[in-house]
Amino acid sequence: MDRLIEGKCVFTKTKPFVPLGVREKTDNTENSAVEHWKRALVIINPVAGDGRSASVLPELVRALSESGCICTAVTTTGRGAATDYVKKLGRSCELLVCSGGDGTANEVISGLMCLESEQRPIFAYIPSGSTNDFASTLGLPKKTKDIISMIAEGASVPVDVGMMNGRCFTNLCAFGAFTDISHTTSQTAKNTFGMLAYFAKGLESLRQITPIKARFEINGEVIEDDFGFCAIANTHIIGGGVIRLKQQLVEINDGLFEIILIKYPTDAIGVSKIAAAIASGEMRCEYIRIFHAGEVRLTILSEPVNFTLDGELEKNVAQAHIVNIRSAIRVVTGGE
């Protein structure tokens, strides 16, 4: 059984929660204690972060209640549950809060994209999984209490959503090296070496991967080659931070992807050139090309490959049509 927790608490001395662009309901009864109210749906992945996700619930509900929200909280019970919750309950709320990892956030956003645009509540994310690149993209505070305070304040910005063959992503659609680094790098290595551990794992995957022959159609140009990595991204952080684009190159609501194609290196010199380009942050060498586009068509000319979409697997892809839906959702951040 899904667990359901509902509570209501409105304080007249607290500034009510008024997200941008949503409905406001008032009780015009004279001397009424309830002047404003909003509905918030909270979706918790109870296994994310070894249970850390569920621990945020009491503080989150208290903060939202003090801001004038009626809170309904549900916990996921398996893959796809978050999407189902949004499809069933999303139309009835103005704010939707997710506590979990990037995979849970992806499920929630998939549910939002099933709703009509005017019915989509504002989305807020509390990261607590093993990979939280989406939180880094949004520039969320490191401390959960600061994120909760930010959610209660309610400022939001529009964010693009990508669609690959009908499946959505917000951060990253990728194949090849680097795509599973966060999952395959040991926690001990992460704790001991930090970003160096990710970088070393990324280079290892680049050396070991089989070249992937593919054809891309981007901005009217056709590119065909053997590739070691492809990223179609709406983020400046890829692979847990192994690849970091300069932030001024990335706008999360401009309708454009940042597309990184890394040609397969045939020798150690090529690997070292790629490594140096990535480490410098410049991403400049003869093996790397970067594009900005709102649409990509690609065909895998070798065996079908597995893609990762926001850390979730899409298996055996041979062809893909990837489009950017500009400003499809609004997401709570620290400001406009």
Task: Report yes or no on 335 lying in a domain.
Answer: no
Do 319 and 184 fall within a single domain?
yes
Report how far residue 311's alpha carbon sits from residue 239's, in angstroms, rounded to the nearest whole number: 9
In Å, how far are 89, 105, 124, 158, 241 from 80, measured between CA atoms? 14, 11, 19, 24, 27
Do 123 and 82 fall within a single domain?
yes
Write the CATH number for 101.
3.40.50.10330
pLDDT for position 313: 85
Q: What is the mean pLDDT of residues 179-205?
A: 46
Q: Do residues 329 and 112 make contact, with C-beta atoms less than 8 angstroms apart?
A: yes
Do 176 and 240 fall within a single domain?
yes
Cα maximum dimension of the chain: 78
Do 286 and 188 fall within a single domain?
yes
Task: Report yes or no on 163 lying in a domain.
Answer: no
Task: Report yes or no on 165 lying in a domain.
Answer: no
Q: Is the pLDDT of residue 125 over 80?
A: yes
More confident residue, 32 or 248: 248
Q: Which of 95, 127, 154 is the last residue of a domain?
A: 154
Size (the chain), residues: 336
Q: What is the mean pLDDT of residues 115-122?
A: 95
* Residue written as token pair 């504002």: 122
pTM of the model: 0.79
* Structural domain range at position 222: 172-328
Q: Is the pLDDT of residue 24 over 50?
A: no
Q: Which of 98, 120, 154 is the last residue of a domain?
A: 154
pLDDT for position 13: 30
Write the CATH number for 322.
2.60.200.40
Do 218 and 263 fall within a single domain?
yes
Q: Which of 105, 127, 154 is the last residue of a domain?
A: 154
Confidence of residue 278 (pLDDT cuts 50, 70, 90): confident
pLDDT for position 9: 32
pLDDT for position 98: 94
pLDDT for position 96: 97
Do 82 and 205 fall within a single domain?
no
pLDDT for position 14: 30
Total domain count, the chain: 2
Q: Is the pLDDT of residue 251 over 50?
A: yes
Do 140 and 16 fall within a single domain?
yes
pLDDT for position 190: 39
Do 300 and 250 fall within a single domain?
yes
Residue 202 has what DSSP assignment?
H
Do 183 and 264 fall within a single domain?
yes
Q: What is the mean pLDDT of residues 259-280?
A: 89
Do 187 and 70 fall within a single domain?
no
Task: Report yes or no on 93 lying in a domain.
Answer: yes
Q: Is the pLDDT of residue 176 over 60?
A: yes
Do 179 and 149 fall within a single domain?
no
Q: 227: which residues sit within 8 A by CB, 6+ positions away?
A: 176, 211, 212, 213, 214, 261, 262, 263, 264
Closest of 218, 220, 241 to residue 296, by C-alpha: 218
Report how far residue 96's alpha carbon sits from residue 297's, in angstroms, rounded to the nearest whole number: 32
Task: Report yes or no on 67 lying in a domain.
Answer: yes
Task: Report yes or no on 161 lying in a domain.
Answer: no
Task: Report yes or no on 162 lying in a domain.
Answer: no
Do 147 and 253 fall within a single domain?
no
Q: Is the pLDDT of residue 189 over 90?
A: no
Q: What H or E segment, with its residue span, contains residue 309?
A: strand 305-309
Task: Report yes or no on 160 lying in a domain.
Answer: no
221 exposed, middle or buried (CB, 10 Å; 0-12, 13-18, 19+)? exposed
